Structure formats: C-alpha cells, structure tokens
Amino acid sequence: MALNKKQLAEFETQLTDWKAELEMGQSANVHSMTELEQTSFPDPTDQASMETDRNFDLRIKDRERKLIKKIDQAVVRIKDGEFGECESCGGDISVKRLHARPVTTLCIECKTAQEQEERTRLD
C-alpha cells in the first residue's frame, strides 16, 4: 500500500516542523553554553556535578544532531518517491509505523529481525 500525495505532504510537514524544533533547541543550547557561566567551583562535588550535567547535555544534543540528519534523509526519500519503502525487503512500511517513527527505513518485520540478530551477536 503506497502512500498517497496527501499523506506524503503530511509526513513532510511533520518532519520539517520536527527538524525546525530540534534546530531551535540546538541553537538555544549553543547560545547558553557560550554565555558567561561559572566554570570553576570551589567545591569539587559542585564542579563534578556541573561537568556531568554538561556532558549529559552534549550527549543529548549529539543524538539530536543525528536525528536531524535522519530527518533530512527522510525528506529526501519523500522527494525521491522512496518514503515508506523498506530498504531491506523492499516492501511497504505500515502507515502506523511511519506515524510512530517517521524517519524509519525498515518495516517492522525487518527491524525485529535486525534487533534479534543484534541480540544474538551480543550473547
């Protein structure tokens, strides 16, 4: 079941809005990190806590950066007519799955198989 033009337009709008929201958060974080803030505390525990918080924020922002890249790739797939197509088996990705995770490139069956294979390799 291929997606119709209306559904594709809705997904494109959802993705571009999501990207804009993430980018706004990214720029706000960069701005807050570059503002004057106390970077040295007399108490080592306070210093460690501040560094832990900063590292946590940086990990989140790195994940958001990667998500922005996936969003861009999904928009390209929409424009190329490949959105909603599983890159593994070539079948259709369900609309329900696309609503849950619009940047996905695998149908639920292929994703489940991939995760099972990853768990097997870790064991």
**Statement to judge: residues 60 and 73 lie in one domain:** yes
Query: Residue 37 and residue 96: Cα distance in Å, rounded?
Result: 45
**Statement to judge: residues 114 and 74 lie in one domain:** no
Q: What is the pLDDT of residue 35?
A: 59
CATH code assigned at 71 = 1.20.120.910
**Statement to judge: residues 76 and 92 lie in one domain:** no
Domain count, the chain: 2
Higher-confidence residue of 79 and 38: namely: 79
- The string of pLDDT tens digits covering residues 56-88 is 988 998 999 999 999 999 999 999 999 999 999
Query: What are the CB-based long-range contacts (under 8 Å, 24+) for 64-71?
Result: 64/22, 64/25, 64/26, 65/26, 67/22, 67/103, 68/19, 68/22, 68/23, 68/26, 70/103, 71/15, 71/16, 71/18, 71/19, 71/22, 71/103
